[in-house]
Amino acid sequence: MQLFGIKTPLIRPGDDFSEVLIKALKANGIRPQDDDIVVLAESAVATAEGRVVALDSVKPSKKALELSKQFENDPRKMELIIRESDEILGGIPGVVVTITKGVLSPSAGIDNSNAPEGHVVLLPEDPKRSAIEIRKKLMENFGCNLAVIVGDSRTQPLRLGCVGIALGCAGIEPVEDMRGHKDLFGKPLMITRRATADNLVSAAQLIMGEADESTPAVLIRDAPVRFIEGSEEIPVISREGCLYFGCFRC
């Protein structure tokens, strides 16, 4: 498997991210081939889509003021967290744990980094739709079959550091069902499902970085994944079926 970082100019609200990406690929001497996968940083996609908010434009509600004191957070950012999240579960000083778009997310995925001073970047409104649209334009331009993943970073319970998580994808099967496959001793796997899209985002983030690398996209070649026509929703599970939530409920 090969990974190629794609450096771009600074992404600004209103940019056509597909066009920026096409120019950057050509400038970097990278020509996509059939069954390549392009992983995109959600902050770059969201910025181009205009999901950048000036904190001074946000008026905190009473609830936001109360929660900002509890979790030692900017009340304006807390107001955005309330608007963007499905549910607020708790938190620690400076960070709120939310359910956003069906999954656990720190502070509803709202990012202070890679945003102008006094601004924050929200998650893309519909990451799957973003992946579909960008994939279509890339395939039309380069004349080959591609997959696109919009990804973010998340922390793991009781582990220091971030790993990748796919927010939306098109062109590959995001989670592969490995049940029935045999292990080294011939025993069938009973519960294993491989988080293919998440793993690809984690690999890409080694090249993307989290700071000033200016590499919001990575092209992955020769990945052992299942390509599909169109797109699938990234599966989520119920709280009752989640190992971590199940333990906490007990």
Q: Please give the pLDDT value at position 212.
A: 61
* CATH class entry, domain 52-122: alpha beta
Nearest Cα to 88, choosing from 78, 100, 98, 80? 98
Q: Which amino acid is at 36?
A: D
Residues 6+ apart with CB under 8 A from 197: 149, 151, 166, 169, 172, 174, 175, 234
Q: Please give the pLDDT value at position 47.
A: 95
The answer to whether 60 and 170 are in contact (CB under 8 A) is no
Q: Please give the pLDDT value at position 192.
A: 66
Nearest Cα to 219, choosing from 53, 52, 25, 73? 25
Does pTM top 0.85 for this prediction?
A: yes
Q: Which amino acid is at 155?
A: T
Kindly report, residue by residue over 178-216, the tens digit of the pLDDT: 655 666 666 665 556 788 999 999 999 999 876 566 899
Rounded distance between C-alpha atoms, residue 132 and residue 16, angstroms: 14
Residues of CATH 3.30.1330.100 domain(s) within the chain? 2-51+123-249
Rounded distance between C-alpha atoms, residue 59 and residue 68, angstroms: 13
Q: Please give the pLDDT value at position 156.
A: 82
The answer to whether 124 and 14 are in contact (CB under 8 A) is no
Rounded distance between C-alpha atoms, residue 52 and residue 221, angstroms: 32
Residues of CATH 3.90.1660.10 domain(s) within the chain? 52-122
Q: Please give the pLDDT value at position 49.
A: 96
Q: Please give the pLDDT value at position 189.
A: 58
18-21-27 Cα angle (round to 5): 145
Please count the other Cβ atoms lying within 10 Å of the Cβ belonging to residue 171. 25
Residues 6+ apart with CB under 8 A from 171: 37, 135, 145, 146, 147, 148, 227, 228, 230, 231
Q: Please give the pLDDT value at position 162.
A: 87
Q: What is the pLDDT along the chain (250 residues), one digit of tens a residue?
A: 999 999 999 999 999 999 999 999 999 899 999 999 999 999 999 999 999 999 999 999 999 999 999 999 999 999 999 999 999 999 999 899 999 988 889 999 998 877 888 999 999 999 999 999 999 999 999 999 999 999 998 888 888 888 899 999 999 999 877 655 666 666 665 556 788 999 999 999 999 876 566 899 999 999 999 999 988 888 888 888 887 777 766 5
Tokens 């045999």 correspond to 182
CATH number of 2-51+123-249: 3.30.1330.100
Phi, psi dihedral angles at 163 (to 5 degrees): -125, 170
Counts for the chain of helices (H) and strands (E), in that order: 7, 12
